[in-house]
Amino acid sequence: MSTKLKFIQHLEKNGCYASVVSAEHAAELGGEIRALHEEGRIDDAVYNDYEMQRFTPNLPRSLPKAKSIIVASVPQPMIRATFRWKGHAYQFVVPPTYQDNVEVDRRIKALLREGFGPESYRFVRATLPVKLLAVRSGLALYGKNNITYVPSHGSFHRLTAFYSDYDSPIDNWGEKKALPLCDKCKACTKACPTGAIMGGRFQIRADRCLTYLNEKTSEHRFPKWVDASAHNCLVGCMRCQRVCPYDRDVADRYQDRAAFTEEETTYLLKGNFRGVKAASMERKLKRIGATLTIFPRNLEALLAQKRQ
Protein backbone atom coordinates (compact mmCIF):
# COMPACT_ATOMS: atom_id res chain seq x y z
CA MET A 1 0.00 0.00 0.00
CA SER A 2 1.06 3.61 -0.55
CA THR A 3 3.33 5.56 1.79
CA LYS A 4 1.18 7.79 4.00
CA LEU A 5 1.47 11.40 2.91
CA LYS A 6 -0.57 13.86 4.98
CA PHE A 7 -3.37 14.26 2.41
CA ILE A 8 -3.65 10.47 2.11
CA GLN A 9 -4.03 10.20 5.87
CA HIS A 10 -6.78 12.82 5.71
CA LEU A 11 -8.71 10.80 3.09
CA GLU A 12 -8.30 7.65 5.19
CA LYS A 13 -9.67 9.40 8.26
CA ASN A 14 -12.74 10.10 6.14
CA GLY A 15 -13.16 6.50 5.01
CA CYS A 16 -11.46 6.78 1.60
CA TYR A 17 -8.11 5.60 0.24
CA ALA A 18 -5.69 7.33 -2.11
CA SER A 19 -2.30 7.05 -3.74
CA VAL A 20 -0.15 9.25 -5.95
CA VAL A 21 2.09 8.67 -8.96
CA SER A 22 4.05 10.96 -11.24
CA ALA A 23 2.02 12.40 -14.15
CA GLU A 24 4.67 10.93 -16.44
CA HIS A 25 2.95 7.53 -16.12
CA ALA A 26 -0.25 8.66 -17.86
CA ALA A 27 1.05 7.69 -21.28
CA GLU A 28 2.26 4.31 -19.97
CA LEU A 29 -1.21 3.48 -18.64
CA GLY A 30 -2.83 4.17 -21.98
CA GLY A 31 -0.02 2.35 -23.80
CA GLU A 32 -0.54 -0.83 -21.79
CA ILE A 33 -4.24 -1.03 -22.70
CA ARG A 34 -3.59 -0.17 -26.36
CA ALA A 35 -0.94 -2.88 -26.54
CA LEU A 36 -3.47 -5.46 -25.28
CA HIS A 37 -5.85 -4.35 -28.02
CA GLU A 38 -3.12 -4.58 -30.65
CA GLU A 39 -2.29 -8.13 -29.46
CA GLY A 40 -5.95 -9.04 -30.01
CA ARG A 41 -6.62 -9.50 -26.30
CA ILE A 42 -9.39 -6.90 -26.19
CA ASP A 43 -12.22 -7.43 -28.61
CA ASP A 44 -12.58 -4.56 -31.12
CA ALA A 45 -16.20 -4.00 -30.13
CA VAL A 46 -15.35 -3.53 -26.43
CA TYR A 47 -12.30 -1.43 -27.18
CA ASN A 48 -14.14 0.88 -29.54
CA ASP A 49 -17.17 1.24 -27.25
CA TYR A 50 -15.05 2.36 -24.32
CA GLU A 51 -11.92 3.75 -25.97
CA MET A 52 -12.42 7.50 -25.80
CA GLN A 53 -9.51 9.47 -24.45
CA ARG A 54 -8.87 7.17 -21.49
CA PHE A 55 -6.64 4.87 -23.52
CA THR A 56 -4.69 7.70 -25.19
CA PRO A 57 -4.41 10.09 -22.26
CA ASN A 58 -3.18 13.63 -22.65
CA LEU A 59 -2.43 16.03 -19.84
CA PRO A 60 -5.43 18.37 -19.58
CA ARG A 61 -5.35 21.69 -21.43
CA SER A 62 -6.21 23.45 -18.18
CA LEU A 63 -3.20 21.84 -16.47
CA PRO A 64 -0.59 21.07 -19.16
CA LYS A 65 2.19 20.99 -16.58
CA ALA A 66 0.52 18.50 -14.24
CA LYS A 67 3.09 16.89 -11.96
CA SER A 68 1.13 14.08 -10.41
CA ILE A 69 -1.91 11.85 -10.68
CA ILE A 70 -3.87 11.25 -7.49
CA VAL A 71 -6.08 8.15 -7.53
CA ALA A 72 -8.75 7.67 -4.88
CA SER A 73 -11.16 4.96 -3.78
CA VAL A 74 -14.54 5.70 -2.18
CA PRO A 75 -16.65 2.92 -0.61
CA GLN A 76 -19.99 2.29 -2.28
CA PRO A 77 -22.87 -0.04 -1.45
CA MET A 78 -25.18 -1.92 -3.80
CA ILE A 79 -28.41 -0.05 -4.51
CA ARG A 80 -31.72 -1.86 -4.22
CA ALA A 81 -34.97 -0.87 -5.88
CA THR A 82 -38.41 -2.40 -5.45
CA PHE A 83 -40.67 -3.00 -8.43
CA ARG A 84 -44.34 -3.83 -7.92
CA TRP A 85 -45.62 -6.07 -10.68
CA LYS A 86 -48.74 -8.23 -10.97
CA GLY A 87 -49.45 -7.94 -7.27
CA HIS A 88 -45.92 -8.84 -6.11
CA ALA A 89 -43.00 -6.72 -4.91
CA TYR A 90 -39.59 -7.64 -6.36
CA GLN A 91 -36.26 -6.20 -5.26
CA PHE A 92 -33.58 -5.77 -7.91
CA VAL A 93 -30.03 -4.61 -7.43
CA VAL A 94 -27.78 -2.04 -9.10
CA PRO A 95 -24.11 -2.85 -8.31
CA PRO A 96 -21.73 -0.41 -6.61
CA THR A 97 -20.27 2.37 -8.83
CA TYR A 98 -23.26 3.01 -11.12
CA GLN A 99 -24.45 5.84 -8.92
CA ASP A 100 -23.16 9.11 -7.48
CA ASN A 101 -20.14 9.56 -9.76
CA VAL A 102 -20.44 13.36 -9.63
CA GLU A 103 -20.84 13.34 -5.83
CA VAL A 104 -17.82 11.05 -5.45
CA ASP A 105 -15.61 13.38 -7.49
CA ARG A 106 -16.85 16.40 -5.53
CA ARG A 107 -16.22 14.68 -2.22
CA ILE A 108 -12.69 13.62 -3.16
CA LYS A 109 -11.82 17.10 -4.43
CA ALA A 110 -13.10 18.62 -1.17
CA LEU A 111 -11.12 16.12 0.91
CA LEU A 112 -7.98 16.82 -1.14
CA ARG A 113 -8.36 20.56 -0.55
CA GLU A 114 -8.81 19.99 3.20
CA GLY A 115 -5.98 17.44 3.27
CA PHE A 116 -3.48 19.82 1.66
CA GLY A 117 -4.59 22.66 3.94
CA PRO A 118 -3.03 26.05 3.07
CA GLU A 119 -0.99 24.60 0.17
CA SER A 120 -3.43 25.22 -2.65
CA TYR A 121 -3.08 22.86 -5.57
CA ARG A 122 -5.28 22.29 -8.59
CA PHE A 123 -7.11 19.03 -9.22
CA VAL A 124 -8.44 18.25 -12.69
CA ARG A 125 -10.42 15.05 -13.24
CA ALA A 126 -8.33 12.55 -15.19
CA THR A 127 -9.82 10.18 -17.77
CA LEU A 128 -7.60 7.13 -17.43
CA PRO A 129 -7.87 3.35 -17.07
CA VAL A 130 -8.34 3.77 -13.33
CA LYS A 131 -8.14 0.09 -12.25
CA LEU A 132 -4.71 -0.25 -13.82
CA LEU A 133 -3.70 3.08 -12.26
CA ALA A 134 -5.01 2.04 -8.82
CA VAL A 135 -3.14 -1.27 -8.92
CA ARG A 136 0.11 0.15 -10.27
CA SER A 137 -0.03 2.88 -7.61
CA GLY A 138 -0.34 0.27 -4.85
CA LEU A 139 -3.81 1.48 -3.90
CA ALA A 140 -5.60 -1.73 -4.93
CA LEU A 141 -5.04 -5.32 -6.03
CA TYR A 142 -6.56 -7.08 -9.05
CA GLY A 143 -8.94 -9.97 -8.52
CA LYS A 144 -9.09 -12.72 -11.14
CA ASN A 145 -12.49 -11.26 -12.00
CA ASN A 146 -10.45 -8.20 -13.14
CA ILE A 147 -12.16 -5.97 -10.57
CA THR A 148 -9.95 -4.20 -8.03
CA TYR A 149 -9.98 -4.64 -4.29
CA VAL A 150 -9.03 -2.37 -1.40
CA PRO A 151 -8.84 -3.14 2.34
CA SER A 152 -12.14 -3.05 4.31
CA HIS A 153 -14.33 -2.46 1.24
CA GLY A 154 -13.30 -5.35 -1.03
CA SER A 155 -14.50 -4.56 -4.54
CA PHE A 156 -17.30 -2.30 -3.27
CA HIS A 157 -15.61 0.97 -4.09
CA ARG A 158 -15.52 3.58 -6.82
CA LEU A 159 -12.22 4.74 -8.30
CA THR A 160 -11.53 8.24 -9.51
CA ALA A 161 -8.38 10.13 -10.49
CA PHE A 162 -7.17 13.73 -10.70
CA TYR A 163 -4.23 15.39 -12.37
CA SER A 164 -2.56 17.88 -10.04
CA ASP A 165 0.22 20.45 -10.00
CA TYR A 166 1.24 18.93 -6.63
CA ASP A 167 4.84 17.75 -7.06
CA SER A 168 4.77 14.60 -4.94
CA PRO A 169 7.99 13.58 -3.18
CA ILE A 170 6.83 9.98 -3.69
CA ASP A 171 5.99 8.13 -6.89
CA ASN A 172 4.16 4.96 -5.85
CA TRP A 173 4.53 3.31 -9.27
CA GLY A 174 4.95 -0.45 -9.18
CA GLU A 175 4.06 -3.76 -10.84
CA LYS A 176 0.52 -5.16 -11.13
CA LYS A 177 -0.40 -7.46 -8.28
CA ALA A 178 -3.24 -9.91 -7.74
CA LEU A 179 -5.11 -10.81 -4.54
CA PRO A 180 -3.18 -13.53 -2.71
CA LEU A 181 -6.03 -16.11 -2.84
CA CYS A 182 -6.56 -15.80 -6.61
CA ASP A 183 -3.75 -18.26 -7.18
CA LYS A 184 -5.80 -21.21 -5.92
CA CYS A 185 -9.39 -19.92 -5.83
CA LYS A 186 -11.82 -20.63 -8.68
CA ALA A 187 -15.00 -19.18 -7.15
CA CYS A 188 -15.51 -16.33 -9.61
CA THR A 189 -14.59 -18.45 -12.63
CA LYS A 190 -17.28 -20.96 -11.63
CA ALA A 191 -19.87 -18.31 -10.78
CA CYS A 192 -19.54 -16.26 -13.97
CA PRO A 193 -22.72 -16.98 -15.94
CA THR A 194 -21.21 -16.23 -19.37
CA GLY A 195 -17.72 -17.72 -19.25
CA ALA A 196 -16.07 -14.29 -19.27
CA ILE A 197 -13.61 -15.32 -16.53
CA MET A 198 -11.43 -18.05 -17.95
CA GLY A 199 -9.15 -20.58 -16.37
CA GLY A 200 -5.57 -20.12 -17.58
CA ARG A 201 -5.85 -16.44 -18.50
CA PHE A 202 -6.05 -13.62 -15.98
CA GLN A 203 -7.56 -11.05 -18.29
CA ILE A 204 -11.30 -11.58 -18.71
CA ARG A 205 -13.09 -11.81 -22.09
CA ALA A 206 -14.91 -8.50 -21.66
CA ASP A 207 -17.00 -9.09 -24.80
CA ARG A 208 -18.61 -12.03 -22.97
CA CYS A 209 -19.24 -10.14 -19.73
CA LEU A 210 -22.96 -9.79 -19.02
CA THR A 211 -22.34 -6.20 -17.97
CA TYR A 212 -21.02 -5.35 -21.43
CA LEU A 213 -24.23 -6.72 -22.92
CA ASN A 214 -26.74 -5.21 -20.49
CA GLU A 215 -25.20 -1.72 -20.41
CA LYS A 216 -25.94 -1.37 -24.13
CA THR A 217 -29.15 0.38 -25.16
CA SER A 218 -32.26 -1.76 -24.97
CA GLU A 219 -32.64 -2.30 -28.73
CA HIS A 220 -29.57 -4.56 -28.51
CA ARG A 221 -31.18 -7.83 -27.53
CA PHE A 222 -29.18 -10.41 -25.57
CA PRO A 223 -27.37 -12.94 -27.75
CA LYS A 224 -28.86 -16.47 -27.78
CA TRP A 225 -25.86 -17.92 -25.90
CA VAL A 226 -26.76 -15.92 -22.76
CA ASP A 227 -28.82 -18.22 -20.54
CA ALA A 228 -32.07 -16.73 -19.20
CA SER A 229 -30.87 -17.51 -15.64
CA ALA A 230 -27.74 -15.34 -16.07
CA HIS A 231 -29.50 -12.04 -15.35
CA ASN A 232 -29.16 -10.95 -11.72
CA CYS A 233 -29.07 -7.14 -11.63
CA LEU A 234 -31.07 -4.29 -13.14
CA VAL A 235 -27.85 -3.37 -14.93
CA GLY A 236 -24.40 -4.94 -14.55
CA CYS A 237 -23.81 -8.22 -12.76
CA MET A 238 -22.80 -9.20 -9.22
CA ARG A 239 -22.05 -12.91 -9.62
CA CYS A 240 -18.24 -12.75 -9.49
CA GLN A 241 -18.25 -10.32 -6.56
CA ARG A 242 -20.87 -12.14 -4.51
CA VAL A 243 -18.78 -15.30 -4.31
CA CYS A 244 -15.41 -13.66 -3.70
CA PRO A 245 -13.94 -14.32 -0.23
CA TYR A 246 -12.59 -10.76 -0.16
CA ASP A 247 -16.15 -9.41 -0.40
CA ARG A 248 -17.52 -11.52 2.47
CA ASP A 249 -17.69 -8.58 4.90
CA VAL A 250 -19.33 -6.17 2.46
CA ALA A 251 -21.80 -8.52 0.76
CA ASP A 252 -24.75 -7.14 2.74
CA ARG A 253 -24.04 -3.47 2.03
CA TYR A 254 -27.25 -2.29 0.38
CA GLN A 255 -29.07 1.02 0.20
CA ASP A 256 -32.79 1.03 -0.65
CA ARG A 257 -33.28 4.08 -2.80
CA ALA A 258 -36.48 3.76 -4.83
CA ALA A 259 -39.77 1.93 -5.18
CA PHE A 260 -41.65 1.70 -8.46
CA THR A 261 -45.43 1.34 -8.43
CA GLU A 262 -47.31 -1.19 -10.57
CA GLU A 263 -48.07 1.65 -13.00
CA GLU A 264 -44.42 2.73 -13.20
CA THR A 265 -43.24 -0.85 -13.77
CA THR A 266 -45.77 -1.25 -16.58
CA TYR A 267 -44.52 2.02 -18.09
CA LEU A 268 -40.88 0.83 -17.92
CA LEU A 269 -41.83 -2.45 -19.60
CA LYS A 270 -43.55 -0.68 -22.51
CA GLY A 271 -40.51 1.19 -23.84
CA ASN A 272 -40.72 4.04 -26.33
CA PHE A 273 -40.10 6.72 -23.68
CA ARG A 274 -40.92 10.33 -24.51
CA GLY A 275 -42.05 13.61 -23.03
CA VAL A 276 -42.54 14.83 -19.48
CA LYS A 277 -43.20 11.38 -18.05
CA ALA A 278 -39.92 10.07 -19.49
CA ALA A 279 -38.04 13.03 -18.01
CA SER A 280 -39.47 12.47 -14.53
CA MET A 281 -38.79 8.72 -14.75
CA GLU A 282 -35.21 9.45 -15.82
CA ARG A 283 -34.80 11.56 -12.67
CA LYS A 284 -36.12 8.76 -10.49
CA LEU A 285 -33.85 6.22 -12.16
CA LYS A 286 -30.85 8.47 -11.63
CA ARG A 287 -31.24 7.97 -7.87
CA ILE A 288 -30.50 4.28 -8.34
CA GLY A 289 -27.76 4.78 -10.95
CA ALA A 290 -29.87 3.59 -13.90
CA THR A 291 -31.13 5.22 -17.09
CA LEU A 292 -34.13 4.65 -19.37
CA THR A 293 -31.84 3.35 -22.12
CA ILE A 294 -31.61 -0.12 -20.55
CA PHE A 295 -35.41 -0.53 -20.39
CA PRO A 296 -37.43 -2.53 -21.11
CA ARG A 297 -34.85 -5.27 -21.95
CA ASN A 298 -33.12 -5.66 -18.56
CA LEU A 299 -36.29 -5.49 -16.47
CA GLU A 300 -38.02 -7.98 -18.78
CA ALA A 301 -35.11 -10.40 -18.34
CA LEU A 302 -35.34 -10.21 -14.53
CA LEU A 303 -39.12 -10.48 -14.38
CA ALA A 304 -39.08 -13.43 -16.80
CA GLN A 305 -37.18 -15.38 -14.11
CA LYS A 306 -39.95 -14.61 -11.60
CA ARG A 307 -42.57 -16.06 -13.92
CA GLN A 308 -40.80 -19.44 -14.14
Interface ranges with ligand B12 (CB under 6 A)? 32-33, 36, 42, 46, 50, 54, 95, 97, 129-132, 142, 145-148, 155, 157-159, 176-178, 202-204, 206, 209, 211-212, 215, 236-238, 240
Comparing CB distances to ligand SF4, the nearer of 226 and 292 is 226
Residue numbers of the site for ligand SF4 (CB under 6 A)? Answer: 143-145, 179, 181-182, 185, 187-188, 191-194, 196-197, 204, 209-211, 237, 239-240, 243-246
Q: Which is nearer to ligand SF4, 5 or 209 (CB)?
A: 209
Nearer to ligand B12, 17 or 212 (CB): 212
Q: Give the shortest CB-117-to-ligand B12 separation in angstroms.
A: 27
Q: Which does 36 bind (CB under 5 to 8 A by kind): ligand B12, ligand SF4, none?
A: ligand B12
Q: Judge whether 124 and 60 are in contact, CB under 8 Å.
A: yes
Question: Of 114 and 227, which CB lies nearer to ligand SF4 in the complex structure?
Answer: 227
Rounded least distance, CB 232 to ligand SF4, Å: 8
Nearer residue to ligand B12 within complex by CB, 6 or 176:
176
Q: Which does 188 bind (CB under 5 to 8 A by kind): ligand SF4, ligand B12, none?
A: ligand SF4
Residues 272 and 110: their CA atoms lie apart, in Å, by 40
- H-type helices in 81-234, by residue range? 101-116, 130-136, 187-191, 210-214
Amino acid symbol at 122: R
Least CB distance from residue 164 to ligand B12, whole Å?
18
Cβ-proximal residues to 59 (8 Å cutoff; 6+ apart), any chain = 23, 26, 65, 66, 163
Nearest alpha-carbon partner for 81 in 296, 290, 297: 290
Separation CA 142–CA 119 (nearest Å): 33
The minimum distance between CB 190 and ligand SF4, in angstroms, equals: 9
Instruction: Write out the E strands in 48-198.
Output: 68-75, 78-85, 88-94, 123-125, 141-142, 148-149, 157-164
Starting from the edge strand earliest in sequence, which strands make up the sheet with 17-22, in order?
Answer: 17-22, 68-75, 157-164, 123-125
Supply the minimum distance, in Å, between the C-beta of residue 98 and ligand SF4.
13
Of 225, 163, 172, 161, nearest in space to 194 by CA: 225
